[in-house]
C-alpha cells in the first residue's frame, strides 16, 4: 500500500463526479501534489444513482459555458485517459407548448450558436422526423440540441479518477474527514488514518456539504430533495425502430409539463420534476444518517402518477412497457438551483464545489472552474451565477433553504421571466419603511433577501402572478413604470433602496492603499466618485462608490448582492501589518433616492443643508432632527440626492420628505423604473454590464483610468491591451421597430451574417421613447451611426450605435443643475 500523504497543496473532500473532476483538472494544471479524500467509495453519494443526462441547454450564459465544456470533455475523455465509457450523444428534443417557451428556445439557440453549438428550433411538422413516437397535440414547436446525450456516471467518475492518478494525484477512499483547523497559515485536515497538512481545501461533499461546511464554521445554504425516476422494460416497437436506424432516440423533455424521457437500451427512463415534491433530512425528526452510501429512499410513486400519465399520452409506446425499477435518491439544492463553485465565504484558502443539482452534466466544467479558482485566483468565464458569495447568511436558514429548494425543484424547467417574482420564502429582510411603501401600492421582489418595490400598482391593476409570466414589455406594470419615470423627469420621485452594501474604511495609509486597488482617482474629502476594481488581467471585478469623509476615512458603497463578494475582495488585499481597519456596516444604514427637478425644493423645506453643493458632493445634515448623509448623485440621471440614514431614523426622515413633497408632485418609483432611467444614461449594472467577462477598457471605462498614477492592480494588462488595440467595446444601441420585446441579456449582435457582439442590458426608455440595448460590439463597428442587427428571441431587428454619451440629457445639464 502506498504511504499515506501527510502533506498536499490541495485536499478535496468528496469523491463524486465533481470532486474527482476538480482533482483531474488541478493535476492537468500541473498541481499534481493534490489529495482527494472520500468517506466511502467513489460515487457513493448522488453520483451513483444519477440518471447521467448531459444537456448543453441553459438559459444562463455561464452555465451553458460550463455544460458545453463538459460535453466536449466527455467526448474525448475515454481516449485521453485510456478508460472505456458508455457515452451516448443522442441529441435531444425539448417540447414547447407556448409562444413564450418558443421565445426561450430561440434565445437559447442564439446563445448556443454564439458558443459554437448546433442548437436548432424546429416547428411541429419537423419534430416527428427526430422523434417518431410522439403525439403532437398542443405543441408550438421544439428545441433540438445535437450535442445532448447521456453518460454512465460511475464510468465517468472512474475515468476522471484514472486521469488524475496517472498525472500524479492521490485518491484516498474510505477515509472520512473528522476535523479541520488552521495552523501557521495552513490547513490541517484530520482523518482516522493521519493528518494532512495542506495549503488549500475544497468542499466537494455533495449532499453532505453542509456537515463538511460546519467543520470550517461555514453554514452552507442548501437542502436535499428526493428525486425519482422510473426504469421501464424493453419496448418491442422501440427495439425494432432502434435496430433498423442504428441509433437511440433523442432524449425527450416536455419542459412545460416537467419530465424527461430517455431511451435506456430498448427500454425507457422517465424522470419527472413534480410539484408535490419532498425534502429529506430537513427537520430534527428526519436527521441525515451518519452513512447513506449507495442507498435510496423508499419509492413514492403516488407523487409521479400525473406525470406518468402525461408522458404516456405524449409517447404512447411508453404505456406498453412494464416498470422494472424506481430510483429515488437524494439530490442537493441551493436556494436558486445553481451549484456553489468558488471561494468559501469568510474562510481563507478554502473553496466549494458542491450542491450540484445536475452534477453529471456540469462536473467537467465545474472541475475546470474550480481548478482555475485555486491555481489562478480567477476564472476564464465570469461565474457569479455559481459563486458561493452570491448568498449571505440569511439564505442558510433551514426554513428558507428548504422553501426555496422545493420551489426550484417543482419549477425545474420553468421559464425565468424578467418581471416575475418567485413567491417562496419572501419578506426575509424588510426596510424600516416597508409598510409605508407597501401602502403606496408597491409590488416587491427580493434583492439579496431585501424586499424592494419594483413598481407601484393602482386600484384595478392586475397584480396576480400570471401576467408576469411573459417576455413582452407590456403588462399591467408598463403604464405605471412610464408614469413613475415621467414623474422623476417632470417633478420628483422617491425610491426606498434598502440593502446597499457599505464598508467603513479608515486608518493611516487607507487612501494610498485604495488608490492601488482602483484604476482611477480616490476622491477628496467631501466628494464621492466611482471606483473600478480590476483583476491582474485588467478585467472588471467590481464597481464601488467611494465616499471620502476625511483624508483616510471612507465609506465604500456597492450593490446589495455584492456584499460578501466585495467585502472579501477588500479583505483579501489588505496589506499585512497595516494600520487600516475595514468594517462591514451594511446592517446599520439604509438609503432612499430622491430625484427629479423638484427635489431641491422639497429638501429645502425639511433641511438647512447647503443644496448648492455640486454634483458628486456629500454632507452631513439633519431632517426632522435626525442625522443623515446627503449625497448628490442620481442613478436616475436627474437632479437628485441619496439620503443615507441610520436604520432607526429612516421612517422619520421619509415621513418628513414625503409630506414636504406632496405639493411638488412627489411620487414613489420602483426598481423597474430605475432600470429604465439608468439605461437612458448608459449606467452599468454589476454582473450584467460589469463582469470579469470584460476588461475595463472593453467596458468603455477608460475615463476612470488614471494612467500616470503609480502602479495599480491590472495596470500592466490594461496598458498592453491599449497598445495592442481593444477588440470589442461597450456601446449603446437604439433598436428600430423592436416589436413586443426588448433585448434580453446575451442577445446576439449580427452584421453581414456574422456574429459581432452581444447585448448585456435591454429595456424601454420612457423619457426617450425608444428600445435601448447596452452591449459589447466588435471594435471596428463601435462607431456612432453604424448599424447592426440584434437577435431578439429569434428575430433580427436593426439597431444603430449611439454616440458615447447618454441618450437622455447627453451633457448632464439636468444632473448638474
Whole-number mean pLDDT of the chain?
Answer: 97
CA dist 263 and 266 (Å) reads 6
Instruction: Dump pLDDT digits (tens) for 304-314.
Output: 999 999 999 99
User: Cell triple for residue 703?
Assistant: 475615463
Sheet holding 501-507, edge to edge: 528-534, 540-550, 553-558, 501-507, 580-584
Instruction: Dump pLDDT digits (tens) for 675-722.
Output: 999 999 999 999 999 999 999 999 999 999 999 998 999 999 999 999
Confidence (pLDDT) at 757:
98
Confidence grade of residue 325 (pLDDT, cut at 50, 70, 90):
very high
- Give me the torsion for CA of 126, 132, 138, 140, rounded to 10°: -20
Q: Which residue is associated with the grid cell 430517455?
A: 262
Confidence (pLDDT) at 147:
94
CA dist 481 and 676 (Å) reads 9
pTM of the full predicted structure?
0.96
Confidence (pLDDT) at 284:
85
1 pLDDT above the threshold of 70: no
Confidence grade of residue 576 (pLDDT, cut at 50, 70, 90):
confident
- Give me the torsion for CA of 794, 797, 801, 802, rounded to 10°: -120
Confidence (pLDDT) at 784:
98
Instruction: Dump pLDDT digits (tens) for 129-147.
Output: 999 999 999 999 999 999 9
CA of residue 625 relative to chain centroid, distance:
42
Confidence grade of residue 448 (pLDDT, cut at 50, 70, 90):
very high
% of the chain at pLDDT higher than 70:
100
Instruction: Dump pLDDT digits (tens) for 81-102.
Output: 999 999 999 999 999 999 999 9
Confidence (pLDDT) at 739:
92
Confidence (pLDDT) at 797:
98
Confidence (pLDDT) at 222:
98
Confidence (pLDDT) at 785:
98
Instruction: Dump pLDDT digits (tens) for 588-638.
Output: 999 999 999 999 999 999 999 999 999 999 999 999 999 999 999 999 999
Strand locations in 194-289, DSSP E? 195-203, 223-232, 251-254, 259-264, 267-272, 279-280
Instruction: Dump pLDDT digits (tens) for 718-757.
Output: 999 999 999 999 999 999 999 999 999 999 999 999 999 9
Number of residues in the chain: 817
Looking at residues 414-427, what average pLDDT do you find?
Answer: 97
Looking at residues 498-514, what average pLDDT do you find?
Answer: 97
Confidence (pLDDT) at 14:
98
- Give me the torsion for CA of 61, 373, 215, 391, rounded to 10°: -30
CA dist 164 and 548 (Å) reads 51
Confidence (pLDDT) at 798:
98
Q: Which residue is associated with the grid cell 433641511?
A: 607
Amino acid at each position: 500500500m502506498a504511504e499515506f500523504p501527510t502533506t498536499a497543496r490541495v485536499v478535496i473532500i468528496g469523491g463524486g463526479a465533481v470532486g474527482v473532476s476538480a482533482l483531474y483538472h488541478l493535476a492537468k494544471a500541473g498541481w499534481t501534489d493534490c489529495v482527494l479524500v472520500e468517506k466511502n467509495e467513489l460515487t457513493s453519494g448522488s453520483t451513483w444513482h444519477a440518471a447521467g443526462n448531459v444537456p448543453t441547454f441553459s438559459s444562463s450564459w455561464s452555465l451553458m459555458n460550463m455544460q458545453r465544456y463538459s460535453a466536449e470533455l466527455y467526448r474525448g475523455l475515454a481516449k485521453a485517459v485510456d478508460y472505456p465509457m458508455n457515452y451516448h450523444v443522442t441529441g435531444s428534443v425539448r417540447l414547447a407548448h407556448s409562444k413564450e417557451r418558443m421565445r426561450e428556445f430561440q434565445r437559447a439557440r442564439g446563445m448556443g450558436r454564439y458558443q459554437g453549438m448546433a442548437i436548432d428550433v424546429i416547428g411541429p411538422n419537423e419534430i416527428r422526423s427526430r422523434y417518431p413516437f410522439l403525439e403532437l397535440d398542443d405543441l408550438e414547436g421544439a428545441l433540438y440540441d445535437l450535442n445532448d446525450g447521456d453518460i454512465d456516471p460511475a464510468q465517468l467518475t472512474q475515468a476522471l479518477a484514472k486521469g488524475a492518478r496517472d498525472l500524479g494525484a492521490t485518491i484516498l477512499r474510505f477515509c472520512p474527514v473528522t476535523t479541520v483547523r488552521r495552523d501557521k497559515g495552513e490547513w490541517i485536515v484530520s482523518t482516522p488514518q493521519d493528518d494532512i497538512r495542506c495549503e488549500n481545501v475544497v468542499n466537494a461533499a455533495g449532499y453532505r456539504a453542509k456537515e463538511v461546511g460546519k467543520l470550517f464554521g461555514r453554514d452552507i445554504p442548501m437542502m436535499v430533495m428526493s428525486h425519482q425516476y422510473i426504469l421501464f422494460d424493453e419496448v418491442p416497437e422501440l427495439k425494432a425502430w432502434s435496430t433498423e436506424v442504428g441509433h437511440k432516440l433523442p432524449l425527450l423533455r416536455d419542459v412545460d409539463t416537467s419530465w424527461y424521457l430517455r431511451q435506456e437500451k430498448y427500454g425507457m427512463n422517465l424522470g419527472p420534476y413534480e410539484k408535490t415534491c419532498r425534502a429529506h433530512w430537513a427537520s430534527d425528526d428526519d436527521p441525515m444518517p451518519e452513512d447513506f452510501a449507495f442507498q435510496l429512499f423508499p419509492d413514492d410513486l403516488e407523487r409521479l402518477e400525473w406525470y406518468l400519465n402525461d408522458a404516456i399520452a405524449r409517447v404512447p409506446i411508453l404505456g406498453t412497457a412494464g416498470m422494472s425499477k424506481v430510483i429515488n435518491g437524494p439530490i442537493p439544492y441551493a436556494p436558486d438551483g445553481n451549484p456553489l463553485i468558488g471561494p468559501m465565504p469568510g474562510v481563507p484558502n478554502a473553496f466549494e464545489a458542491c450542491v450540484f443539482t445536475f452534477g453529471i452534466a456540469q462536473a467537467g466544467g465545474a472541475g475546470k472552474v474550480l481548478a482555475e479558482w485555486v491555481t489562478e485566483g480567477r476564472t476564464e468565464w465570469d461565474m457569479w451565477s455559481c459563486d458561493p458569495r452570491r448568498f449571505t447568511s440569511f439564505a442558510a436558514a433551514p426554513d428558507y433553504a428548504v422553501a426555496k429548494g422545493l420551489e426550484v425543484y417543482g419549477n425545474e424547467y420553468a421559464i425565468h421571466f424578467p418581471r416575475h417574482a418567485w413567491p417562496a420564502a419572501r419578506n426575509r429582510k424588510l426596510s424600516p419603511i416597508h409598510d409605508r411603501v407597501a401602502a403606496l401600492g408597491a409590488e416587491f421582489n427580493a434583492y439579496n433577501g431585501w424586499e424592494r418595490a419594483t413598481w407601484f400598482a393602482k386600484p384595478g391593476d392586475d397584480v396576480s402572478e400570471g401576467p408576469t409570466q411573459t417576455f413582452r414589455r407590456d403588462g399591467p406594470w408598463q403604464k405605471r413604470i412610464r408614469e413613475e419615470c415621467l414623474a422623476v423627469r417632470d417633478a420628483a420621485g422617491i425610491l426606498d433602496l434598502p440593502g446597499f452594501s457599505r464598508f467603513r474604511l479608515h486608518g493611516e495609509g487607507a487612501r494610498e492603499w485604495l488608490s492601488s486597488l482602483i484604476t482611477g482617482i480616490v476622491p477628496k474629502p467631501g466628494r464621492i466618485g466611482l471606483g473600478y476594481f480590476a483583476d491582474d488581467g485588467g478585467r472588471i471585478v467590481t464597481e464601488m462608490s467611494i465616499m471620502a469623509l476625511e483624508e483616510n476615512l471612507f465609506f465604500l458603497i456597492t450593490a446589495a448582492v455584492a456584499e460578501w463578494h466585495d467585502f472579501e475582495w477588500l479583505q483579501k488585499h489588505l496589506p499585512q501589518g497595516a494600520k487600516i481597519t475595514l468594517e462591514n456596516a451594511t446592517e446599520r444604514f439604509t438609503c432612499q433616492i430622491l430625484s427629479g427637478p423638484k427635489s431641491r425644493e422639497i429638501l429645502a423645506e425639511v433641511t438647512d443643508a447647503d443644496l448648492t453643493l455640486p454634483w458628486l458632493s456629500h454632507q452631513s445634515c439633519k431632517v426632522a432632527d435626525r442625522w443623515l448623509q446627503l449625497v448628490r448623485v442620481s442613478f436616475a440621471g436627474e437632479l437628485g440626492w441619496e439620503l443615507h440614514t441610520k436604520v432607526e431614523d429612516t421612517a422619520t426622515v421619509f415621513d418628513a420628505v414625503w409630506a414636504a413633497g406632496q405639493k411638488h408632485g412627489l411620487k414613489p418609483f420602483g426598481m423597474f423604473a430605475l432600470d429604465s432611467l439608468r439605461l437612458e444614461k448608459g449606467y452599468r449594472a454589476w454582473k450584467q454590464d460589469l463582469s470579469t467577462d470584460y476588461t475595463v477598457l472593453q467596458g468603455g471605462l477608460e475615463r476612470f483610468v488614471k494612467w500616470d498614477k503609480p502602479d495599480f492592480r491590472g495596470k500592466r494588462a490594461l496598458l498592453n491591451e491599449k497598445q495592442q488595440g481593444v477588440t470589442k467595446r461597450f456601446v449603446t444601441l437604439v433598436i428600430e421597430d423592436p416589436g413586443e420585446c426588448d433585448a434580453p441579456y446575451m442577445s446576439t449582435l449580427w452584421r453581414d451574417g456574422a456574429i459581432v457582439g452581444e447585448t448585456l442590458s435591454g429595456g424601454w426608455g420612457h423619457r426617450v421613447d425608444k428600445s435601448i440595448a447596452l452591449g459589447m460590439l466588435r471594435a471596428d463597428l463601435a462607431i456612432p451611426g453604424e448599424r447592426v442587427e440584434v437577435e431578439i428571441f429569434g428575430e433580427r431587428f436593426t439597431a444603430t450605435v449611439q454616440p458615447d454619451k447618454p441618450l437622455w440629457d447627453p451633457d448632464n445639464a439636468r444632473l448638474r443643475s
